[in-house]
Structure 1
């Protein structure tokens, strides 16, 4: 654990009036998403100190440069036994952590309270940490359960028991993946195969699946449930979840929030923006499957071949190790003819907002989907796991602002068809994109729905009523 000096404790006691504990789910992009929330809260409540709990390695990256002096990083154990050799089992590292998460959270609170000299007055945790309901009840303080994704995936998890009960007979049929169901409140129709794994399909006994089920059963005990979306995107889901949860608050999309204390300077070390400056408007396919997920090698080959065959200009952000699977001579050819650019990293938000971008080829992760909506860019989705399948379903079937790759995998034919479809003029799709983009920006603007909801969240976290500004 990171601790503070005795002198710092004295300064803390004099300076800060309340102490809020923030627990990140320390995998993938969750810590950075939750730190963004902590920064927003810290800016809105400068007399409150926030202790931020996360893995050591992640904290070193997130807190590498000085920032908010009322956010203090604390390290938690990953639960991995000393000298353990990983065997490549699914969710192996996550299972180790989940086994110790509650114990580590309770220990972390005790350490931070001693260091800072203030009792914790509120728990702001990732919604996965269902045990925080018991902790908050014992401590007689509010529990804020943060969902870093959209309302569609939260709704699917929240109604896990209902879905399992209603779909029991369907699961025994030949093709349960293809069944369209209408019994999930707020979701007019969704394919069972697009629900996150662990709800009705996949390993329902895994530690992660059990954790999510316990989350669903305890979420109604939370004082507030903020999510990284805007209520106008999913009005039916918002209405449904609001009737079941206390203070169900859409406070995003976080990528459109520009109120952080010291906005990060845009880094473009691979000259993506200058390359895009030389491309025609709405002509380029931006391709990125996140920093965690990689496509199977044969799909990389099919996608690359389709790009060459269709002569589609593209900017592809992909880790260097995966480029070895490209077709022979691919990188040399696209560099020579100038049709494409392959980089290990790109400033995604700035790229998506560039006039040259005509489509975003994505895995359908929530951050990518919300960034695409905020930029008004249509999507071609190839979901891999987690909430990506239901997000992609919403993109194609509910919001009508993109499509999923036919057959679920990249083939040269399916990719060619997807490009032809998305680059054809679609007035209805473009109208929907512009409308959602406009509403998203209005939601986070002063007095917008997300701005209003965030003020409510600040009241819950600080216990102080915010006075409206004039």
Structure 2
């Protein structure tokens, strides 16, 4: 290719248009597009995914535009109710739907694509970029610990074996043959690495990604370098440009961040560090009996609480719970999470250990009580509780009335709280430093921005 001037740059952003993935990728893209107004950004996802995330955003960013790609769902298709059915249908339509979208965007904007930036899940983006003779940047929305397990999947399998029989009686042995993972037991590995259906579309995609990702021109990770320096050092030795620029959601204050449910004004009336904030993310849902146990534990402990719970799950709460706790509890369908966590009255975050939630909790200096649900939650929780000591995992990974009471006592009232709070505050300082003017996240973002302007 001939010489390319920065104002001819056009970056194709390929999102994984499911669960909580599109929003952090869009937030990173927004930061880049605001800082590089001459560069065009075309963001690709399904109509269902793009619609809500672009509705309140990007009125002022002329250089950022969304394009809908085919969702892979045949006309008049009747869903069978199988888990991840919509994802599998979409994956069958890839990469051709993205290629078509890129053709449309190129024609529409009159500018060739000069770089492909994708959710790291889409390993085939490397092939698309290669065909176009442009760089591929893979964006990993989780933590470095979970990325490392995917990069090392082949080694893990050949060392441990696969299937329940391979680890029977060895569940607590750790993957200490991987840098920075000496406290992670076999049983914490994500489904699809050594346990679960290794041949599922999802497991195969992540396995292939782990093999492909070292080919990327840059890997952008949603973490602070200082959280796991050993893992980052190891990944840097494997990747061309390994850039930690957490949090992607740093500048995320769209109109929807307004206090539409009144939860912030409710928090204003509570005592400092007294409230338990509860949320299990956009996708995670607890089984009904655990939802009931969590409610019973909250009621028995007497702790004030703010609970982000969808209306259709409220009916699973114990009879009379809402009435009995209305003086000290508030349940709303949505909250501006970062602002809630940063509120002085919030003392603990009851969470699923989703990566965005973990990062936001660290940035706000709030300890966690966690109950992993799926994916990387288990390994994230291990780092929160055992490696960093800034929270606890619920006993046996299942909510019981006594387990909830015990967790709240430990994190809010016992002697243990002092130790946890000291560690949480130390990690908060690390996170704040990383995003300051000369911090690691800021420096890495500047490096990425330089790459944007020279593609």
TM-score, length-scaled by structure 1: 0.92
Q: Are the structure 2 counterparts of residues 407 and 211 from structure 1 closer, same or farther at C-alpha, using a change threshold of 3 Å?
A: same
- The reply to whether residue 241 of structure 1 matches residue 235 of structure 2 is yes
State whether residues 48 and 70 of structure 1, in contact with CA within 8 Å, keep that contact through their aligned partners in structure 2. Answer: yes
2:176 to 162, 172, 182: 182
State whether residues 245 and 441 of structure 2, in contact with CA within 8 Å, keep that contact through their aligned partners in structure 1. Answer: yes
Q: Match of 1:373? A: 362
Distance 1:21 1:333 in 2: 52
State whether residues 144 and 461 of structure 1, in contact with CA within 8 Å, keep that contact through their aligned partners in structure 2. Answer: no
TM-score, length-scaled by structure 2: 0.95
Structure 1 unaligned segments of length 5 or more: list them. 1-14, 465-470
Counting only pairs closer than 5 Å after superposition, residues 393-404 of structure 1 correspond to structure 2 as: 393-404=382-393
- The reply to whether residue 328 of structure 1 matches residue 319 of structure 2 is yes
1:280 to 230, 251, 271: 271
Q: Which whole-Å deviations, capped at 9, do the CAs of 1:270-320 have from their partners, x for residues lacking one? A: 211111112111111001111222111000111111111111111111001
Q: Are the structure 2 counterparts of residues 266 and 174 from structure 1 closer, same or farther at C-alpha, using a change threshold of 3 Å?
A: closer
Q: Match of 1:89? A: 82
- The reply to whether residue 405 of structure 1 matches residue 399 of structure 2 is no
- The reply to whether residue 307 of structure 1 matches residue 298 of structure 2 is yes
Q: Match of 1:10? A: none
Query: Does the residue aligned with 1:120 lie in a helix, a strand or coil?
Result: coil
Query: Does the residue aligned with 1:384 lie in a helix, a strand or coil?
Result: coil
Counting only pairs closer than 5 Å after superposition, residues 109-258 of structure 1 correspond to structure 2 as: 109-168=102-161, 171-255=165-249, 257-258=250-251
Distance 1:427 1:415 in 2: 19
Q: Match of 1:46? A: 37
Aligned-pair Cα RMSD in Å: 1.6
Distance 1:173 1:290 in 2: 30
State whether residues 95 and 207 of structure 1, in contact with CA within 8 Å, keep that contact through their aligned partners in structure 2. Answer: yes
- CA offset at residue 177 of structure 1? 3.8
State whether residues 151 and 229 of structure 1, in contact with CA within 8 Å, keep that contact through their aligned partners in structure 2. Answer: yes
Q: Which whole-Å deviations, capped at 9, do the CAs of 1:54-85 have from their partners, x for residues lacking one? A: 11022121222424111111001111111111
- CA offset at residue 263 of structure 1? 5.4
How many residue pairs get aligned? The number is 445
State whether residues 150 and 193 of structure 2, in contact with CA within 8 Å, keep that contact through their aligned partners in structure 1. Answer: yes
State whether residues 274 and 347 of structure 2, in contact with CA within 8 Å, keep that contact through their aligned partners in structure 1. Answer: yes
Q: Are the structure 2 counterparts of residues 399 and 173 from structure 1 closer, same or farther at C-alpha, using a change threshold of 3 Å?
A: closer
State whether residues 142 and 461 of structure 1, in contact with CA within 8 Å, keep that contact through their aligned partners in structure 2. Answer: no
Distance 1:240 1:403 in 2: 27
Query: Does the residue aligned with 2:211 lie in a helix, a strand or coil?
Result: helix
Higher RCO (CA 8 Å, separation ≥ 6 residues): 2
Structure 2 unaligned segments of length 5 or more: list them. 1-5
- The reply to whether residue 354 of structure 1 matches residue 343 of structure 2 is yes
Q: Which whole-Å deviations, capped at 9, do the CAs of 1:110-167 have from their partners, x for residues lacking one? A: 1111111111000010101111111212211110000011101111111111111111
Distance 2:233 2:130 in 1: 27
